[in-house]
Amino acid sequence: MTNIRQLSDDNHFTTIYLVPLTPAGSTTQEQTNDALGLIEYPENTTNTGPLTVYRFLGSHTEQLNCKSTIIISTRLIPKPTDIICDGEKVLSLQIPFKDRIPYTDLTFGDSLLDDFEVVYGSRRHLTISNRSGLDLWFEWFRDVHTDHAEDFIQNNKHRTRKSRKVNVSASFPVKVYKNNNGERGKYLDSFTCEVFTHDRVEVIVATIGNNQYLQAISVIELPGKILMSVLL
């Protein structure tokens, strides 16, 4: 029988899903870690496993991003799962929910000179990945380039928007709407994401009890900071 303490402890942990990053050529995992400038998670661990670099796929089995470019490194030893993601075997790792996990996101841009300019500030980038099972509309405001933008993002698609040039951070307020036959439909809710370099927001549907909630989760604070949660 599960006691109250066990239930409490379980509530303070979450599971993240990973696949090992295969080093190129004869490069070792340690060299890959150093080349990417990763900070080992957690620091000063007593675990005896080798340092390994992984791609972070997400924290919800039904919403894994098999093409994720979010990279972490750890000596903690993940457990095997029965999940296959784009032909790769997925591992799981249970971590304290409150932990902040250092990572790098290998996001690719398309205009180096336009996106980075030291004298007049630089642009920040926000990616919205729609993994909700729904087709949705997103309306961007404030620091987004041109001050306003609107995107129809189908399920399992994503859209990246850059900000105007800022010195410190960019604020992206975003309104979320249902899709109505290819047109913007009913307004659902909104969230605001403050971006210092790059951030990715995953939009998912979470089932809590008998209710379903549309949630927007920032992956910059792994395993995820909930920016929006609205009852469907």
pLDDT in tens, 81-113: 999 999 999 999 998 877 778 888 776 666 666
Nearest CA to 135 out of 179, 188, 187, 191 is that of 179
Per-residue pLDDT averaged across 137-163, rounded? 90
Burial 171-184 (b: 16+ CB within 10 A, else e): bbebbbbebeeeeb
Q: Where are the extended beta strands (E) located within the chain?
A: 13-20, 52-58, 70-74, 79-85, 88-96, 104-105, 125-130, 136-140, 149-153, 157-162, 170-180, 183-195, 198-208, 211-218, 225-231
In which residue ranges of the chain is CATH 2.60.40 found? Answer: 112-231
Q: Cβ distance 96 to 114 under 8 Å?
A: no
Domain 112-231 has CATH 3.30.70: no
Tell me the per-residue pLDDT of 206-215, one tens digit each, with 9 for 90 and over: 888 888 999 9
pTM listed for this prediction: 0.58
Report CA 52 to chain centroid distance, whole Å.
20
Q: How far apart are CA 184 and CA 203, in angstroms?
A: 17
- pLDDT for position 166: 85
Question: What's the pLDDT at 111?
Answer: 66
Residue with tokens 């993940």: 78
Please give the average per-residue pLDDT across 27-44, as a whole number. 85
pLDDT at position 7, please?
46
